[in-house]
Amino acid sequence: MRFGINTLDDLEVKGKTVLCRIDINQPVDRSTGKLKDTTRIEACIPTLRELSDKGAKLVLMAHQGSDIEYKNFYTTEPHAEVLSGFLGKKVKFIDDVCGPAAREAIKVLKGGEILLLDNVRFVSEEQTLFETKLCLSHEEQAKTLLVRKLAPLGDLYVCDAFAAAHRDQPSLCGFEQILPSAMGRLFEEEFCVISGIMEKPGRPCVFVLGGAKINDAFLMMSSCLGNSVADKVITGGLVGEVLLWACGKDIGEKARAFITKEGYAPLLETAKELLSKYRDRIAMPVDFAAVQGGKRTEYPLGSIPADALILDIGEKTAKQYQEIIRGARTVFVNGPMGVFEEEATELGTRLVWDALADTPAYTVIGGGDSITATKKYNKTKDINYICTGGGSLIRFLTGEELPVVKALRHGSTIKQQ
Ligand code: ADP
Ligand code: MG
């Protein structure tokens, strides 16, 4: 038991059916349907190997996101193949989540065998829209279709999905109401490492926040600047743009339209509040880059042409950020500085990642695209800890208890028969 949660050491799994939630959500190539990265799949292998070697009948539940969640474009079938490759052992797949076919496949499993169910998001209860609109309690989640159908077939529940620990959904928080539960090895490791750093971070502690999914970043800035876990926050991507807009700076018509279309305009109020309290501890871009005529073109803040869409921080900003990172003793990173996937708009991210690699600070990077950037620049070995979570890492840093942690604590009090 660690942090009031069972570990795999606390369960007797031989011959038992173990329902195991993992996070193997990976970027998918839209045209081919192929997985573009396999970091998260590889990260959960120790847990799966241990459970299988100990003789569990292992049932894996996982989600794969689409650009638009409800469109249900992707199955988890390719993930089963990648899992099999890493494990050196067949992982079965069934194209069903909790219907009769899935239940039958679970019933015939033998000790040591592994079955991956199809994308749990095919069940409406597992969609973010459902989560955010209905806000079900964990007791209510235990009564959803998924849990009602699968829990009776399981003896134990294991969650190894630290990357999804901030989500409040039945596959993550419902089973712990019914089955004796534990966290897997990856969950345990990520939980311990990050709690350890947060307890006494080396100072100054700097957060680098960028990217395009920015609700969590704003949530986290308020708490981490407020409780002084972060001494300074460096901002790029849409985070920096929203902050500058809130300051009354001209980021260009196209950027404002994009931010509005993405639904982030309400964050302007949060941004204003943050700036009124912590202006001197938030670093924002002083220049930007856009693509004009196929080429990178840089503009100082205040002179962005109306027809330019800014897609990266400028070189001057990146150099300022490098100095801050090199002078830090702890750095948490979530989100790239720009559209690093394209050559013309990768410079900001590359320069910041260079500094992350050579700073004496303890560096932690989280988030799918941030991990992809780390690989692209060959910095994996230079970063102290790479966390599979982006959103969950950010929520964890706010100091609030994550929904899955709460559920696992409850599931750890249920005694194994
Ligand atoms: P992570 O996966 O690391 O948590 P996000 O998913 O929040 O990061 O954001 C990553 C994406 O943000 C990348 O695909 C990148 O192209 C995009 N991005 C970064 N900066 C901008 C920008 N200024 N405008 C639009 N997209 C951006
Ligand atoms: Mg991402």
Q: Atom of ligand 1 at shortest distance to CA of 240?
A: 23
pLDDT (0 to 100) of residue 67: 73
As a whole number, mean pLDDT of residues 166-181 equals 98
Q: State which of 213, 296, 342 you would mutate to test the pocket of ligand 1, scoring each by most atoms of that ligand within 8 A of its C-beta.
A: 213
Q: Which amino acid, 41? A: I
pLDDT band at 87 (very low <50, low <70, confident <90, very high): very high
391 lines ligand 1 (CB under 6 A): no
Q: How far apart are CA 314 and CA 310, in angstroms?
A: 10
| Those residues with Cβ within 8 angstroms of residue 176's Cβ, 6 or more apart along the chain or in another chain | 138, 157, 159, 407, 408, 410, 411, 414
Q: Which of 61-75, 119-133, 166-180, 393-407 has the lowest mean pLDDT?
A: 61-75
pLDDT digits (tens, 9 = 90+) for 357-366: 999 999 999 9
User: What integer pLDDT is reported at residue 71 of this predicted model?
Assistant: 80
Ligand 1 atom, smallest distance to 217 CA: 7
- Res 68 pLDDT > 80: no
Average pLDDT over residues 350-371: 96
How is residue 20 written in tokens?
């195991």
CA of 237 to the centre of ligand 1 (A): 6
Q: Hey, where are the domains in the chain?
A: 8-190+402-411, 203-360
Supply the pLDDT for residue 79: 97
pLDDT for the residue 271: 97
234 three-state secondary structure: strand
pLDDT in tens, 190-216: 999 999 888 889 999 999 999 998 988
In the block, tokens 């309290």 appear at 277
Give me the CATH topology for the region 8-190+402-411: Rossmann fold (3.40.50)
d(CA 239, CA 267): 10
C-alpha 159 – ligand 1 centre gap (Å): 28
What is the arithmetic mean of pLDDT over 287-291?
97
Does the beta carbon of 309 lie inside 6 Å of ligand 1?
A: no
Say what the pLDDT of residue 398 is: 87
pLDDT (0 to 100) of residue 204: 97
Q: Which letter, b or e, does each residue of 387-408 get, where b requires 16 or more Cβ atoms within 10 Å of its Cβ?
A: bbbbbbbbbbbbeeebbbbbbb
Query: Is residue 33 very low, low, confident or very high in pLDDT (cuts 50, 70, 90)?
Result: confident
Tell me the fold of 203-360.
Answer: Rossmann fold (3.40.50)
Cα–ligand 2 centroid distance for 368 (angstroms): 5
Give the mean model confidence (pLDDT) for residues 165-189.
97
What is the CA(112)–ligand 1 centre distance, in A? 40
3 state DSSP class of 381: helix
Q: 16: which residues sit within 8 A by CB, 6+ positions away? A: 56, 57, 155, 156
Which is the closest atom of ligand 1 to the Cα of 391?
4
Domains 8-190+402-411 and 203-360 are alike in CATH topology: yes
Which 3 state secondary structure label does DSSP give 310? strand
Q: How confident is the model at residue 330 (pLDDT cuts 50, 70, 90)?
A: very high
Higher pLDDT, 220 or 57: 57
| pLDDT of the residue at 28 | 86
Provide the whole-model pTM. 0.89
Task: Kindly tell me if the per-residue pLDDT of 111 is higher than 90.
Answer: yes
Residue 18 is predicted with a pLDDT of 98
What is the pLDDT, as a whole number, of residue 32?
85
